[in-house]
């Protein structure tokens, strides 16, 4: 992911999580991802792999394009 896309992804992930009133721990438990990974992604410290992005998009019922910040719907 390029820097702009990573920033948009981090922002969208956090926004979606907070809209659902989930802690990072709750999101991790619901998706099978780790809380540490979610923290890294939200803080732009690590780039998620495609499998993780798909898991998050499915969980939040959004497109990959939306989650990556490429589309606004």
The CATH number covering residue 30 comes to 1.10.260.40
| Distance from C-alpha of 14 to C-alpha of 51, rounded to nearest angstrom | 18
pLDDT score of 2 more than 70:
no
Residue 49's nearest CA partner among 9, 4, 8 is 9
Q: With cut-offs at 50, 70 and 90, classify the pLDDT of residue 4.
A: confident
Number of domains in the chain: 1
In this structure, is residue 46 part of a structural domain?
yes
pLDDT score of 25 more than 70:
yes
Kindly list the distances between the CA atom of residue 26 and the CA atoms of 10, 37, 64, 72, 73, in Å, as whole numbers in the listed order. Answer: 17, 13, 21, 25, 25
Q: Which residue has the tokens 């719907």?
A: 73
Q: With cut-offs at 50, 70 and 90, classify the pLDDT of residue 22.
A: very high
The reported pTM is 0.92
In this structure, is residue 73 part of a structural domain?
no
């Amino acid at each position: 992911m390029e820097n702009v896309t990573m920033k948009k992804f981090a922002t969208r992930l956090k926004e979606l999580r907070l809209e659902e009133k989930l802690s990072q721990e709750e999101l991790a438990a619901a998706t099978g991802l780790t809380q540490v990974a979610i923290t890294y992604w939200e803080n732009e410290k690590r780039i998620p792999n495609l499998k993780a992005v798909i898991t998050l998009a499915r969980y939040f019922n959004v497109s990959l394009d939306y989650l990556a910040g490429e589309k606004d719907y």
